[in-house]
Amino acid sequence: MNIQITGDNFELTNSVKKLVDQKINQKLEKLLTTFAPEMKTATLRIEYDKLKNIHLRFDMYLPGKEKIFSETTHRYLKSALVDLEDQLEKQIKKYRSL
């Protein structure tokens, strides 16, 4: 799974990348096992909002021109990633049931 991570006013350290890999990347790999590797690309944008909360935006296109999009805001990165993971899992399961 290839996730392009960008940060707006947010420093992307190795620990942040590792946390994204643990929470999002590994979960998506399990859910999307039947897809070819070149189809498993996504973008994740991490930024601070005006209140210093962390805002995440995730975009991914699946075969059939289906777009997976999720957005969440939390005070802490780990809780934002958990929420994002839950949203993505629901959307992918819905896509697979079509």
Per-residue confidence band for 97, with pLDDT thresholds at 50, 70 and 90: confident
Question: Model pTM?
Answer: 0.90
Question: Where do the domains of the chain lie?
Answer: 2-96
Q: Which CATH architecture has domain 2-96?
A: 2-Layer Sandwich (3.30)
Check if the beta carbon of residue 46 is closer than 8 Å to that of residue 5: yes
Six token digits for residue 94: 């819905």
Six token digits for residue 43: 């973008």
As a whole number of angstroms, the distance between CA 12 and CA 89 comes to 24
- 1-48 tens-digit pLDDT: 899 999 998 999 999 999 999 999 999 999 998 888 888 899 999 999
Residue spans of alpha helices (H) in the chain = 14-20, 26-31, 77-96
- 47-85 tens-digit pLDDT: 999 999 999 999 998 887 789 999 999 999 999 999 999
